[in-house]
């Protein structure tokens, strides 16, 4: 990996001389004789630093500031050095003063010795760009060969999380992803990366990173999220606006994100965790823990860690829950129709459907939900917005931590609770026995009030476990909407999160059938309201 410089000057001899001099010092130089040529390089190459002549169009025109204009158009992530043979206090102020936008890292007259520009370039790499070009990278993963991956191979493996299909783009983004980590861990000499969970549906990845230095040993482990730059920028903004002021016990902290042209990364610090290396996501924790431990963890998550979100619910407002959940999940009617046709083509367009093993007809939820409106007076508050088990981490002391605030913002107060219930039912359960799942779901839609008793008992222990956890989850949800005791708005939110599952064809078909059955039973319940 080389330090990459865009050098823009309309004098060919200047370009040639500086290209030769800088390449002798190990830089990779992209020469451009005009703003248009510079923009072409920016489209197809990663650029770390731009050195730009002040006058790129007409040296004789005292008003020519085309270099400054080009600098303004270039990504703010790229530091700029303005180089000029026509230095003036006015153009220097325009390039450097915050009053004028602070376009440039520095402003250098051409009559200065060449060493000044070279020193300034190196200073820009050390103070602004801050890429650890010498960082040693090792990825430890349970591969079939039992080996590990290093440097470029490690980032090639991690790139799968971003779901890039084009091979040319993969090669470019692999190098960018390496730069993201080399920016995040600028002060380390080596890092060991461990994937924290299996790939999800989003175009982001989450890993555990153990940084260190040869003579100082291993530093505290960090959790890193990486993905498209716009997603990391949005998450950082959401964190500062909706999370940082409100999370209480064991808050997840985010360090300053790092970006490349297309990618970004951020470090989550779990302040107070004894040993981040032992952390796992909630899905893994759920599978290996007892019911009472899981209940304790969820109580801490909702009551203490992010309880202020739900407690600051304000007064009731009129909400159209159908539109709210469709917008949140991106599940408009066409997408649901297309998903049903692709996975269960036999149900397409039918008002009634049946399931093998169940001797009755059921409402087709995709047809039933069409054009449904659910206007309610309810509470809106800050919510996580994507509360599935991969975004809840649990440490060795059973304490919960939240990550992934990309969708965090205002929403229906029950939004997080219904999403976690859907995640438990359709991502954790292994049984495909449709008769037992029918009894399980029928029991879950039996109450009409939050505090109404309802029960379920099965020879399949994982269903008993899920039922107990869901009951407790609903009790936690009830505590934040009291004195309201009507559970129907919970069912409405649950319906949209449940029916949305059929849009993920990578899930086992048995689980998608379960989601369709569950959706149908909720529709029957709402139909009788």
Rounded percentage of the chain residues whose pLDDT exceeds 90 = 70
pLDDT of residue 421: 98
Q: Is pLDDT at 289 greater than 80 in this prediction?
A: yes
**pLDDT at site 163:** 76
Least confident range from 38-52, 92-106, 155-169: namely: 92-106
The more confident residue out of 512 and 143 is 512
pLDDT at residue 316 in the model: 94
Of 430, 396, 401, the residue nearest 289 (C-alpha): 396
Max Cα–Cα distance, the chain, nearest Å? 90
Residue 227's nearest CA partner among 289, 183, 180, 293 is 180
Q: Is the pLDDT of residue 46 over 50?
A: yes
Q: Give the contacts of 219 (CB within 8 A, at least 6 positions apart).
A: 188, 210, 211, 212, 213
Joined together, the tokens standing for residue 16 give: 């040639």
Question: Cα(372)–Cα(403) distance, rounded to whole angstroms?
Answer: 33
- Residue among 62, 65, 70, 53 at smallest CA distance from 109: 53
The pLDDT tens digits for 120-140 are 999 999 999 999 999 999 998
Residue 26 in tokens: 């190990």
Residue-by-residue DSSP string for 352-404: EE--TT--S-EE-HHHHTTT---EEEE-EEEE-S--SGGGEEE-TTS-EEE--
CA distances to 297, 300, 308, 423, 513 from 304, in Å: 10, 5, 8, 22, 36
Kindly report, residue by residue over 54-84, the tens digit of the pLDDT.
888 877 676 678 888 999 999 999 999 998 8
In this prediction, residue 117 has a pLDDT band, given cuts at 50, 70 and 90, of: very high
C-beta of residue 392 within 8 angstroms of C-beta of residue 301: yes
Residue 255 to residues 133, 244, 247, Cα–Cα distance (Å): 21, 12, 16
What would the mean pLDDT of 249-254 be, rounded to a whole number? 77
**Using one digit for the tens of pLDDT, what is the confidence trace for 463-497?**
999 999 999 999 999 999 999 999 999 999 999 99
pLDDT at 101 over 70: no
Nearest 5°: CA angle at 257, between 25 and 177? 55
**194-248 per-position pLDDT tens digit:** 887 655 456 888 999 999 998 887 888 889 999 999 999 999 999 999 998 887 7
Please count the other Cβ atoms lying within 10 Å of the Cβ belonging to residue 506: 7
pLDDT given for residue 29 in this prediction:
97
State the pLDDT confidence band at 143, using cuts at 50, 70 and 90.
very low
State pTM to two decimals.
Answer: 0.87
Question: In whole numbers, what is the pLDDT of the chain averaged over residues?
Answer: 90
Q: What is the pLDDT of residues 331-364, one digit of tens each?
A: 899 999 999 999 899 998 899 999 999 999 999 9
Q: 269: pLDDT confidence band, cut at 50, 70 and 90? A: confident
pLDDT of res. 65: 82
Q: Which band of pLDDT confidence, cut at 50, 70 and 90, is reported for residue 99?
A: low
Residues 172-191, mean pLDDT to the nearest whole number: 94
pLDDT in tens, 294-334: 999 999 999 999 999 999 999 999 999 999 999 999 889 99
Whether pLDDT at 525 is above 90: yes
pLDDT in tens, 424-467: 999 999 999 999 999 999 999 999 999 999 999 999 999 999 99
DSSP 8-state secondary structure symbol assigned to residue 101 = T
Cβ burial of 12 (10 Å; 0-12, 13-18, 19+) is exposed
Q: Can you give the pLDDT at residue 17? A: 94
Give bridge partners of residue 91 from the DSSP assignment: none
Percent of the chain with pLDDT over 70: 94
Q: In the prediction, which pLDDT does 147 show? A: 61
């Amino acid at each position: 990996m080389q330090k990459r410089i865009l050098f823009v000057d309309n004098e060919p001899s200047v370009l040639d001389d500086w290209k030769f001099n800088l390449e002798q010092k190990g830089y990779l130089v992209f020469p451009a004789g005009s703003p248009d040529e510079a923009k072409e390089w920016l489209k197809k190459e990663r650029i770390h630093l731009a050195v730009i002549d002040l006058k790129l169009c007409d040296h004789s025109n005292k008003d020519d500031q085309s270099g400054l204009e080009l600098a303004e158009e270039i990504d703010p992530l790229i530091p700029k050095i303005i180089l000029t043979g026509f230095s003036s206090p006015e153009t220097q102020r325009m390039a450097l003063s915050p009053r004028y936008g602070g376009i440039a890292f520095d402003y250098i007259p051409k009559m200065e010795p060449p060493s000044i520009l070279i020193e300034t370039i190196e200073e820009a790499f050390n103070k602004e760009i801050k890429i650890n070009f010498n960082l040693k990278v090792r990825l430890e993963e349970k591969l079939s060969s039992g080996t590990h991956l290093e440097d470029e191979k490690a980032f090639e493996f991690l790139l799968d999380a971003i779901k890039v299909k084009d091979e040319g783009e993969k090669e470019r983004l692999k190098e960018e992803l390496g730069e993201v980590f080399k920016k995040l861990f600028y002060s380390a000499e080596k890092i060991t990366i461990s994937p924290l969970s299996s790939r999800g549906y989003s175009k982001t990845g989450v890993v555990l990173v153990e940084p260190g230095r040869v003579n100082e040993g291993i530093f505290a482990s960090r959790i890193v999220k990486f993905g498209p730059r716009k997603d990391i920028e949005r998450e950082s903004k959401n964190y500062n606006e909706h999370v940082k002021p409100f999370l209480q016990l064991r808050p997840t902290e985010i360090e300053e994100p790092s970006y490349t042209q297309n990618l970004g990364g951020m470090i989550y610090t779990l302040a107070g965790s004894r040993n981040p290396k032992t952390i796992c996501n909630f899905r893994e924790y759920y599978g290996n823990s007892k019911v009472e431990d899981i209940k304790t963890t969820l109580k801490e998550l909702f009551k203490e860690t992010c309880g202020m979100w739900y407690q600051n619910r304000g007064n009731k407002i009129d909400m159209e829950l159908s539109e709210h959940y469709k917008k949140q999940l991106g599940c408009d009617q066409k997408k649901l129709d297309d998903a049903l046709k692709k996975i269960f083509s036999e149900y397409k367009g039918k008002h009634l459907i049946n399931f093998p093993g169940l001797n009755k007809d059921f409402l087709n939820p995709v047809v039933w939900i069409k054009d449904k409106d659910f206007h309610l007076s309810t509470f809106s508050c800050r919510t996580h917005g994507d509360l599935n088990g991969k975004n809840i981490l649990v440490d060795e002391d059973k304490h919960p931590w939240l990550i992934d605030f990309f969708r965090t913002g205002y929403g229906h107060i029950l939004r997080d609770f219904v999403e976690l219930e859907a995640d438990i039912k359709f991502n954790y359960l292994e049984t495909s026995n449709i008769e037992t799942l029918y009894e399980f779901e029928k029991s879950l839609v039996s109450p009409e009030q939050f505090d109404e008793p309802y029960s379920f008992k099965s020879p399949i222990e994982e269903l008993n476990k899920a039922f107990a956890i869901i009951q407790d989850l609903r009790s936690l949800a009830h505590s934040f909407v009291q004195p309201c005791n009507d559970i129907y708005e919970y069912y409405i939110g649950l319906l949209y999160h449940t029916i949305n599952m059929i849009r993920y064809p990578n899930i086992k078909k048995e689980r998608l059938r379960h989601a369709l059955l569950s959706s149908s039973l909720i529709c029957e319940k709402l139909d009788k309201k």
